């Protein structure tokens, strides 16, 4: 996961948007053990490296970054419950959208032109 974490480190200073309400947040610091983010209200939260890497592995295996999938993967209730930031970060790391990060591989998205499977990555 070292190459993955190198990608995460490249996100330092980036502004992203939460999965639910589209609120901005900024990745203000990335270290070898995790990252700090600043929310739109100015609060600062820490996200551990294991949490980010685990969520990326979950998505790489084809599972959406959702509360239920995170709990099944061994995340704590607190880690799985505070999910607003993780899908956006996973999407940025893996080069997919936040919406794609939250969907299981093979889920069908409805578009004006009909049903189309989402890309696996």
Quote the domain boundaries for residue 81: 2-117
Query: Do 72 and 38 form a contact (C-beta atoms < 8 A)?
Result: no
pLDDT by 10s per residue, the chain, length 121: 578 999 999 999 999 998 878 899 999 999 999 999 999 999 998 888 988 999 999 999 999 988 888 888 888 877 776 678 888 999 999 999 888 888 876 554 433 333 344 444 4
Classify residue 118 by burial, with Cβ atoms within 10 Å: 0-12, 13-18, 19+.
middle
Number of domains in the chain: 1
Query: Do 84 and 76 form a contact (C-beta atoms < 8 A)?
Result: no
pTM of the model: 0.80
pLDDT at 106: 57
Residue 31 to residue 46: CA distance in whole angstroms: 11
């Amino acid at each position: 996961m070292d190459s993955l974490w190198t990608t995460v480190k490249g996100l330092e200073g980036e502004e992203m948007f939460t999965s639910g309400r589209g609120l901005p947040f900024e990745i203000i610091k990335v270290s070898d053990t995790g990252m700090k983010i600043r929310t739109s209200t100015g609060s600062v939260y820490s996200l551990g490296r294991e949490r980010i890497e685990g969520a990326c592995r979950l998505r790489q295996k084809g599972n959406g970054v959702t509360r239920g999938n995170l709990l099944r993967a061994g995340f704590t209730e607190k880690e799985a419950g505070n999910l607003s930031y993780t899908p956006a970060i996973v999407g940025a790391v893996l080069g997919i959208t936040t919406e794609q990060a939250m969907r299981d591989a093979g889920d069908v998205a409805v578009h004006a032109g009909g049903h189309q499977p989402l890309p696996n990555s």
